[in-house]
Each structure stands twice: as structure tokens, then as C-alpha cells.
Amino acid sequence: MIRTQKVRLYPNRHMKKVLDSLCDYRRYCWNEGLATWNDMYDLRTLDSSSPPPSAYSVRNELVANKADWQYELSARTLQLAIADLGTAWQNFFDKAQPDWGKPTFKSKKAARQGFKTDRAKIIAGKLRLDKPHGVKDWYDIRISQHVDLSGVLKLVSVYRENGKYWASLPFEVELDVKPKTGDSSAVDVNVGHLNYTAGVINTLPKRLRKLYQRIKFYQKQLAHKRVMNGNKATKSTNYVAIRAKLQRDYRKVANIQHDIMQKFTTKLVNNYDKIVIEDLSVKAMQMSHVASKGLQRSMFGYFRQILSYKCDWYGKELILADHQYPSTQRCSKCGHIKVGNDKITLQGNCAHQTKHNEYVCYNCGAIMDRDENAVSNLLDLI
């Protein structure tokens, strides 16, 4: 089993330059590979006898035309970049992919820049990258503490974002099966909170709301400066300082949200053997301007992602309810399903003057909390 640890890197001044060079080199290899791929494809359309482009042929073309400066950088950066490009082209011919689309050129203005290597090692709790031939100055990179570094290290992804360096360290470890509890649970996701059999988890606490208010204030300031000063605004010292504060608050928000989700999902896999959640189409739900911001902040997709791999880690069963399953409209007492004007919406039911968090069954007369009723309906799928 592969278990990935995301860690913060603390390189010294020399290794910062090395990491920046590798990030730029990865982008260069991708763009050169994509341009070569397009040229080979155009040649194929003009001359049918020409071989079709592939990751192998594009890689050989770039290796044959290497410049002298490229030998000072890791050769694995080029090879892994072209391998990813080949995978991107394969996904392009499969429209079932969630982010389907044609591969595009990478921009140096992107907020995240990174590279991959499969020759990194963990030495004395530090990350050691593969050193190219002829390079003398090379140092191990200190990583954040309190992480489990046991197992066989696989393909490492290193990236730079907002001036900070991070790494995804995948370790091959043995499956850690948790003891069976014999209990089951269901989770009903909502904007701002998650309901399950044992209670409610608040995903938008007060500290997050204050951060969002501050983020909104910084965004208004930056937008005003861009309107007043145009392109020159981004070069001013005050603009850079406010943008740094905005990025700092975004990082705080992400850390708080991830902490809540990680602790809750760990609690679920520790206490329950079977867990039921809804198979929601999050992207389709975000198309509605009414709740798109709340859906984004509630992190439905992230919750499902980490719960899925933790169930695989610890040998627990995750059951996905079909997105057409009427968990909200169905009465958990008698099984009656609301249709037509009786349906519950985000605002409740206007025809019957019921609140948004209230479920009233017009078949058996039961009155329940809407979210608790949904959890009970999801439990019926076990």
C-alpha cells in the first residue's frame, strides 16, 4: 500500500536555487516536449508513413538535442516530465476523465511550480535529491517534524508555492488493519456542517469566518489598487505586502479546514466498520451561484477523497449512495418520498411553510430534523 506524507521543506540558500532551477527545468521540458509532440503530429498528418508521436519518441528527440546547461540538472526531471506528458495525451482520448482536456503549455506565472524525481532518499530525517554528475556543492534538505518516514520511498513530487517549498513523499508500507468494532455510520454533508450518527461536525467555525472576512478585505484592497494604477499596481511595495498577507490567510484557512477533515475522518475509521456517504456531483452543484461559495468552503470533495484512502488503509468499508438516492426527500419512518410541491429545498418548503432544517412527512405525520432524517436514510443502505 502507498501512503503519502505531505511535508514542508526548509532548504538552505544554495538548495533553494537548485529547487528553483529544477522547477524551471521541469516546465521547460514539458513545453519543449509538447511542442515536439505537436510537430510530430502535424508531420504525421502530412505524411502517413511517419511514425505517430509517443512519449518514447519525444523523449529521445529531446535527449538527442540536449544543450550543455541541461547536463547540470537531473536527467530524471526530463524523463518524468515527458512520461507525464504521455499520460496527459492518453487521458485526452478518454472523455470520462474528470478534468478532460488537451495538454497545454505551462506558464512561469503559475502560482505552483514543481518537479518529480524517483531517486530521492531519506537520510537521517532529511531529504536528499539525486546529485547530477560534476556538481560539487550539494546538501540534504531539512523537512518538517512530526511525520512518519517509515517505508520504501517512491516517486517524490516537490513544488514551490507562495515562496514556500513542499514535498509529497509516497511510502510503500504494509496494510494496517484496524480492529473491528461492529458499528456502522452514515455522513450527510451540508454547507457548514457534517451530520453523522454520533452528532454534528462544524466545518465553518468562528475563526474561519473571521479569516474569510479579512480575506475579503484584502481582496478589495488589491482590486482597488489594480483599478487605480493598472499594470503598475502589482509592482508596488504596498501591493506586494498586502498580497503576502492574503496568501498567509489563505494558508491558515487551508490548514484549519484540513485539520478538521483529517481528525473527523480518522475518528470515523477508528469507530466504525461501515461508512455510508452520498456520491455527490460537487462540480455540478457549484454551477449554482446560490451555494457555490459555501460548497467550496465545505470541502465535500476533499472529505470524500481522504475518507476513501483511509478506509483502504485500515480495511474499512466505504459505501457510496447514488446521487439520485432521495436521502433528503425520503421519510426514514415510513419510506414515503416527497415529490412535486412537497419537496424540500434549501429554503425549506414554501407551499407548506416549513423551515429549511425541518422535515414533515405528510404520509405518517412524523416531524424530524432534516439532516438527522437524511442520516437515517443513508444508514438503511447498509
Q: For 116-174, what is each residue's pLDDT tens digit? A: 999 999 998 899 999 888 888 899 999 987 777 888 999 999 999 888 999 999 998 88
Least confident of 29-43, 180-194, 216-230: 180-194
What is the residue-averaged pLDDT of the chain?
87
- Grouping H, G, I as helix, E, B as strand and the rest as coil, residue 340 is helix
DSSP string, 175-234: --PPPP---EEEEEEETTEEEETTEEEESS-HHHHHHHHHHHHHHHHHHHHHHHHGGGGG
Q: What percent of the chain has pLDDT over 70?
A: 95
Alpha carbon distance 330, 347 (integer Å): 17
Tell me what the mean pLDDT of segment 285-292 comes to: 60
Tell me what the mean pLDDT of segment 275-282 comes to: 81
Tell me what the mean pLDDT of segment 43-68 comes to: 89
CA angle 72, 74, 79 (to 5 degrees): 130
Packing angle of the helix pair 300-314, 237-271 (nearest 10 deg): 40
- For position 307, what pLDDT does the model report? 92
Tell me what the mean pLDDT of segment 337-353 comes to: 75
- For position 160, what pLDDT does the model report? 94
Higher pLDDT, 148 or 9: 9
pLDDT band at 283 (very low <50, low <70, confident <90, very high): low
pLDDT at 80 exceeding the cut of 60: yes
Alpha carbon distance 343, 359 (integer Å): 10
Tell me what the mean pLDDT of segment 81-93 comes to: 93
Domain range summary for the chain, segments of one domain joined by +? 2-172, 184-321
Of the candidates 296, 294, 272, the one whose C-alpha atom is nearest the C-alpha of residue 283 is 296
Alpha carbon distance 311, 309 (integer Å): 5
CA angle 48, 53, 56 (to 5 degrees): 140
Higher pLDDT, 208 or 349: 208
Of the candidates 8, 26, 287, the one whose C-alpha atom is nearest the C-alpha of residue 141 is 8
pLDDT at 253 exceeding the cut of 60: yes
